[in-house]
Structure 1
Amino acid sequence: MVHPFVVRPVATAADQQAFLALPKRVYQDDPYWVPPLTESVAKQFLPTNPFFEYGELQQFIAVSAGEPVGRIVAAVNRRLIDREQQAVGLVGFFECMPQFEVAEALFETALGWLRDRGMTLARGPIDLSTHNSCFFLIDGFDSPPMVMMPYNPPYYPEFIEKAGWHKAKDAYAYSFPLDRPLPSKFERAYQVARKAGITFRPIHTQGEGFEQDCRTFYQLFTQTFAHNWSSSERTEAEFMAEAKELQSLIDPDVFIIAEDQQQMVGFFMGLPDYNIPLKRVNGRLNGLGLLKFLWFRRQIDQGRVIAIASLPEYRRKMVPLALIYLGMEGGRQKHKPYRRAELSWVWEDNMPSRRIIEAAAATIDKTYRIYEKAF
């Protein structure tokens, strides 16, 4: 039985606190959920978020008997609208207790807000942009998510489909065990790239070297992924702010840069799976939380490959395969703790990347989905 509830805009500090606290109710008995850092979620709604320079949003919360039972955010990202030339709005930050009536009311409230702003298509879950958290997990609920990857109860995709949304596009997370070497073609590709004059090095992690690498990396990242579906361009300032948040977490042995005559032409972006210690801090890196994080980071034994890319003209010089070879070999070193890598996420129709990944004998471990609804 669903008790009476109301869906209302988040308007007070108490509403915001309930909005941020709701996931702990939803996942209190879920062994695989990793609490996000509360501060990181909260700052996305502050006026200082650069998103408000080109977008607007509204948070909503569902409340029953004084307790939060659901939440959602509707957003208009004008950069995405300009790029796609259609009135597409976004929904994200969705969490809900296992009550379909609540979920349905949240979806309808978000759609109404978007409709009032002239939108004719809704897409989600996307937390403001695909550079942030997005997707519902639809397959692979038997293990925790890797760092910066989403997780949700199995009933979320059931609820959104029952509410009339349909699949827009799927993406995959590939699993690659590190207890065996890559096929020999990857090492051969590395040798081909070297003979073509390509050099490889780890990213700089300190001072001006780090900042310069990140600025160049931003330009290459923007150029390489300019045509990604549902993607809106970030400014350099936004990119640099995110990079500095990750600076202390980088393992340079699994973050490799390819250069031609000292010009960056490709990269392999790996990151240790910091979800392992983050699971222990209950969403807060305060004094005790930080101590727990530092202690449990020693248990990290896997990592996530976030992106592999090169300029198109360097693919014939085998730069992508060479980067995979160096990145995976970096993680396989004897003094490294990694036993497994996840390559995520990869769009289902990105066949060039999928062919390369599958040639490395990686297998699909999790499937994610973004939905749409016209109105």
Structure 2
Amino acid sequence: MSFSIKEIDLNNKKDKKAFVELPWSIYKNDPHWVAPLKMAVNDLLNIAKHPFYKTAHVKAWLAIKDNVVVGRIMAIHNFSYNKYENNKVGHFGLYEVINDQKISDALIDTAAVYLKAQGMTSIQGPMNPGTNYECGLLVDKYDDAPQVMMTYNPAYYETLLTNKGFVKAMDLLAYNFNPHNVLPKLILDIAERAEKKVRVTYRTVNLKNWNAELDIIFDIYNSAWESNWGFVPMSKEEFAHTAKDMKSIINPELIQFAMVDGVEAGFILTIPDLNQIFKTIPSGNLSPMAIYKLMTPKKRITRARVIMMGIKKEYRKMGLETLLYRNTQKTLLKTPQIKDVELSWILESNLEMNKPLIRMSGEAYKRYRLVEKAL
């Protein structure tokens, strides 16, 4: 049966609706997929207003077979990323497709032609739309629902992309912990030595001074990640936009700062796994009942995710990571319904982050892959 690839305009309501709603047909029989909130996806794809698109150009396409949408892809020419990394890498993202090699190949080829015309020398992804957002192809443990703001996909996606000639560029790891397990003595000893060695104090976030706190987190974030593979600094506007809804869902005790001589040297941010709520809202629409569920999440949520942990460059190798992990565990023990904590994602190559997690008996239980292909 024939199919076609149609370029769409994300400013067009009909086109955008078709692009946003495709996953509901791809995953209709998958018990582990979690429907995203459509309002959040629409916000991410608002190319006229979302700050990401001030430093990137994108194009989007749909695959159509028998008048039915069966695939989608976005090509991303991220000027900021390529300037910062000094390379010519184009990205693809928001990739969803039925299990059909020809249709998948056609989507990739279409994105590749555009990116090559922009001077890119390779295509890498999936980025949705960059490393500061959801990214990576799940390549194992398909029998578990993703935690909040982590990707999920069918197992056949890896086969489709591998058959197209993509190879691994980098793996992103997700670690799992039981917060009720006692930390190894080695870790506790490291934490005690770190506290004695430098004058470390702690504080939690002040929600009454949220904007100022965001400025501090933003400063640490860009300093902590600046040398990481694939990193591109966020503008302050983009960071604020990404964090705008965070205040309403966080437990202030789970945003903790480590202070050295009174200066914020690092932070850790843990949030409840709202996907456990979103999973009960399969339409992705915010009905009154859905809003009620989101406003009363405590008894419904048994998992949490550490989504950020960073130490400023000048304060590394002091053991602050271990101190922040230890303190977060203490806080989580006050909420006994939390049975599992995910720390994600962490670059496979980031030994400074992986080593302490392994020492803490953490299990790298999920793997997400960024793949790349020369153009």
TM-score, normalized by length of structure 1? 0.94
| Alpha-carbon distance between aligned partners in 2 of 1:296 and 1:32, rounded to the nearest angstrom | 20
Aligned 8 A contact 2:302 2:339 in 1: yes
Amino acid at match of 2:346: V
Task: Report the alpha carbon displacement of residue 156 of structure 1 after superposing the two structures with TM.
Answer: 0.5
| Alpha-carbon distance between aligned partners in 2 of 1:233 and 1:153, rounded to the nearest angstrom | 31
Q: Residue 154 of structure 2 aligns with which residue?
A: 153
Task: Report the alpha carbon displacement of residue 257 of structure 1 after superposing the two structures with TM.
Answer: 0.8
Q: Residue 50 of structure 1 aligns with which residue?
A: 51
Q: Residue 308 of structure 1 aligns with which residue?
A: 309
Q: Quick one: percent identity of the two aligned structures?
A: 28
Q: Residue 68 of structure 1 aligns with which residue?
A: 69
Task: Report the alpha carbon displacement of residue 179 of structure 1 after superposing the two structures with TM.
Answer: 2.8
Amino acid at match of 1:212: A
Task: Report the alpha carbon displacement of residue 296 of structure 1 after superposing the two structures with TM.
Answer: 5.3
Aligned 8 A contact 1:276 1:297 in 2: no
Aligned 8 A contact 1:254 1:328 in 2: no
Q: Residue 18 of structure 1 aligns with which residue?
A: 18
Q: 1:183-215 CA distances to partner (integer Å, 9 max, x unpaired)? A: 1233334433443321112222x232x221110
SS in 1 for 2:147: coil
| Alpha-carbon distance between aligned partners in 2 of 1:96 and 1:240, rounded to the nearest angstrom | 32
Is 224-233 or 26-35 further displaced after alignment?
A: 224-233
Match of 2:203 among 198, 201, 204: 201
Task: Report the alpha carbon displacement of residue 258 of structure 1 after superposing the two structures with TM.
Answer: 0.7
| Alpha-carbon distance between aligned partners in 2 of 1:342 and 1:137, rounded to the nearest angstrom | 15
Match of 2:3 among 2, 5, 9: 5
| Alpha-carbon distance between aligned partners in 1 of 2:294 and 2:270, rounded to the nearest angstrom | 20
Amino acid at match of 2:201: T
Amino acid at match of 1:326: N
SS in 2 for 1:298: coil
Amino acid at match of 1:162: N
Aligned 8 A contact 2:89 2:122 in 1: yes
Task: Report the alpha carbon displacement of residue 100 of structure 1 after superposing the two structures with TM.
Answer: 1.6
Aligned 8 A contact 1:62 1:68 in 2: yes
Q: Residue 279 of structure 1 aligns with which residue?
A: 279
Amino acid at match of 2:128: D
Q: Residue 134 of structure 1 aligns with which residue?
A: 135
Q: 1:223-274 CA distances to partner (integer Å, 9 max, x unpaired)? A: 1101221221111121122222111111233321111233210112111111
Task: Report the alpha carbon displacement of residue 50 of structure 1 after superposing the two structures with TM.
Answer: 1.3
Q: Residue 108 of structure 1 aligns with which residue?
A: 109
Aligned 8 A contact 1:253 1:331 in 2: no
Aligned 8 A contact 2:170 2:369 in 1: yes
SS in 2 for 1:368: strand
Task: Report the alpha carbon displacement of residue 13 of structure 1 after superposing the two structures with TM.
Answer: 2.6
Is 173-182 or 147-156 further displaced after alignment?
A: 173-182
Q: Residue 254 of structure 1 aligns with which residue?
A: 254
Amino acid at match of 1:21: E
Is 195-204 or 66-75 further displaced after alignment?
A: 195-204
| Alpha-carbon distance between aligned partners in 2 of 1:280 and 1:10, rounded to the nearest angstrom | 31
Q: 1:148-174 CA distances to partner (integer Å, 9 max, x unpaired)? A: 110000000110111111111111111
Q: Residue 230 of structure 1 aligns with which residue?
A: 230
> Map of 1:204-215 to 2, 5 A cutoff?
204=206, 206-208=207-209, 210-215=210-215
> Map of 1:285-324 to 2, 5 A cutoff?
285-295=286-296, 298-324=299-325
TM-score, normalized by length of structure 2? 0.94
SS in 2 for 1:42: helix
Aligned 8 A contact 2:61 2:74 in 1: yes
Q: 1:319-361 CA distances to partner (integer Å, 9 max, x unpaired)? A: 111111001121122x442111111111111111111100100
Give structure 1 stretches of 5+ with no counterpart.
none
| Alpha-carbon distance between aligned partners in 2 of 1:319 and 1:52, rounded to the nearest angstrom | 35
SS in 2 for 1:139: coil
Give structure 2 stretches of 5+ with no counterpart.
none
Amino acid at match of 1:79: S
